[in-house]
A and B are shown apart, each in its own frame.
Chain A
Amino acid sequence: MNLYAIKAIYAFEMARTGRTLMQSILSPVISTSLYFIVFGAAIGSRIETIGGVSYGAFIVPGLIMLMLLTQSISNASFGIYFPKFTGTIYELHSAPVSFIEVVISYVGAAATKSVIIGLIILATAAFFTPLRIEHPLLMVLFLLLTAVTFSLFGFIIGIWADNFEKLQVIPLLVVTPLTFLGGAFYSIDMLPEFWRNLSLANPVVYLISGFRYSFYGAGDVHILVSLGMVAAFLAACLFTVWLIFRTGWRLKT
């Protein structure tokens, strides 16, 4: 294991975050604050509590998940795509590093960054609404698992993409709709039966439900089902990365 290389890439990626502090940290915080003001304070005050939780507090786990998913994907996909775009990837190819080390460092950095953003949003949320976290350990576990899983997913997108459009298309056209329809702003119990059943095919439902369970002790689906789904998605991403590694797909000619 080339630990120096992992350290170097990780530090490089984290420095990139540091340079783009406005874009990386401030923008998710501001957009989440806007959600809180609009949905939590303005509209939320007219909505009755859901399962004994005020609407403003109800949407917190969903909003954190929303940011966690999009940030993990965009960080990791951009991190590996950009060297391909500028050509500096020659250095990775010619260095004594294996693909696994590349994955660990890029995915590790992307996940770190999105966990930090998640925690910042959590702190921001505490300004707007009283929070309680019933299962803090479970909450942290969900945070970490989701960050790692979706950073892996983003990494795969970054490898697959050969132009900027492809880099954007999955986050925009797939992930954002799934998140919005995944119960970030409502409980799927509030939906008519048909839509409720359809929602169960949306993997994000399980993430948000599980994460919300760690806060308020209740979710749309059972917590173990949630955990199982995250684990399954993580396994699928790991398997895909392994396949890329085996075949050198989109990496080398």
Chain B
Amino acid sequence: MQPIIEIRNLSKTYAGGFQALKDVNLEIREGEILALLGPNGAGKTTLISIVCGIVNATAGSVTVGGHDIVRDFRKTRALIGLVPQELTTDAFETVWDTVSFSRGLFGKPKNPAHVEQVLKSLTLWDKRKQKIMTLSGGMKRRLMIAKALSHEPRILFLDEPTAGVDVELRREMWELVRELRKTGVTIILTTHYIEEAEEMADRVAVINKGEIILVEDKAELMRKLGKKRLTLHLQEPLKKIPKGLSGNGLALSEDGFELTYEYDTRAERIGVTQLLADLNAAGVRLKDLGTEQSSLEDIFVDLVRNGR
């Protein structure tokens, strides 16, 4: 299947000489949620700004729905809804007017029923006659999403949707994104919260210093990362692993004081109970035990630090 967004050798150098993107290649599949993960200043916003038409690329090409973003900008932009990071809204317009304005701007005829449905889905319906300046920060954030959805886009860009948003609103936001995905909308969200990527994404792309350093299915990534390690500190050293429990993933340290056991947290039976029972039966006495898990955060920090 042809990707809905295809980014080829994209580079951006700003007038001041700062190179924000270096030869970026990325394919985004229709209907997926892609999390674009990276530290501040990594190039996330520049990347989506180019796709949306706000920033001009220095080199490379982008197609959206098979159309070039420069040559066929009308077609590509009509497909995209953008929710920028900054809360930039007018002040004196009403909620209803500003959402209707966005719909017109994106070339769609008036459709009060759709605007109503969007406002209701974002719990803004009661506020429709209020001026934007009277809204709270969380409501403004939702309003910007409403504006982005006003023209029924097939692709939605959410640039740091939950930055500076409280926990409850963040949950609501995630729920909304899931609902949208069910309707077939492709969603690209940038974030520097690992938790968000873990929670939401089908795939994760990690960007750092203008380069994409990893693109992977989240499930695959989590499978790699989902391994957990149980370390058992023993009272008496063992010469070898006792018979009967030399099962999978069990290893003995050189000094014989530590047994480690690796297991998949998402397996139906992780075998820890059995292992402890077996150890007890074999007369192995424990001094202490601990578990550790590599998370997306670990790999992310690792990737970013090494700059690969």
Contacts and interface: CB of A to CB of B under 8 A. Distances in A.
Interface of A: 2, 4-5, 7-9, 11-12, 15-16, 19, 86-88, 90-98, 248, 252-253
Contact of B78 (A8, A92, A96, A98): A96
A83 to B, nearest CB: 8
A39 B61 CA distance: 64
Nearest to A97: B105
For the complex, would chain A's binding face be called helix, strand, loop or mixed by DSSP majority? helix
Interface in B62-111: 73-78, 80, 82, 84, 86, 88-93, 97, 100-109
Contacts of B101: 8, 11-12
Interface string B30-59: 000000000000000000000011111000
9 A-B pairs closest in CB distance: A8-B104, A87-B88, A96-B74, A96-B77, A94-B52, A93-B54, A95-B105, A2-B107, A4-B104
B147 interface: yes
B105 A9 contact: yes
Nearest to B131: A19
Contacts of B75: 96
Contact of B105 (A8, A19, A86, A98): A8
Contact of A252 (B55, B88, B92, B102): B55
B91 to A, nearest CB: 8
B15 interface: yes
A93 B86 CA distance: 15
A16 B100 CA distance: 15
Contacts, number: 78
Contacts of B55: 252-253
Contacts of A248: 56
B56 to A, nearest CB: 5
Contacts of B76: 96
**Which of B14, B54, B102, B104 has the most chain A CB within a 10 Å cutoff?**
B104
Contacts of B91: 86
A19 B92 CA distance: 9
**Which of B54, B86, B92 has the most chain A CB within a 10 Å cutoff?**
B54
A26 to B, nearest CB: 18
Interface residues of B, number: 35
Contacts of A90: 54, 82, 84, 88
A248 B15 CA distance: 13
A7 B78 CA distance: 17
A95 B148 CA distance: 10
9 contacts: A4-B103, A4-B107, A7-B104, A90-B84, A91-B102, A91-B105, A96-B107, A97-B105, A248-B56
Contact of B147 (A11, A12, A91): A91
B48 to A, nearest CB: 10
Contacts of A88: 88-90
Contacts of B86: 87
Nearest to B108: A4
Contacts of A98: 74
A253 B90 CA distance: 23
A9 B103 CA distance: 11
B105 A5 contact: yes
Contacts of B84: 90
A252 B53 CA distance: 9
A154 B82 CA distance: 29
**Which of B80, B107, B109 has the most chain A CB within a 10 Å cutoff?**
B107
A20 to B, nearest CB: 9
A119 B76 CA distance: 43
A19 B90 CA distance: 13
B53 A253 contact: no
B106 A96 contact: yes
B105 A253 contact: no
Contacts of B73: 96
Contacts of B92: 16, 19
Contacts of B108: 4
Contacts of B109: 4
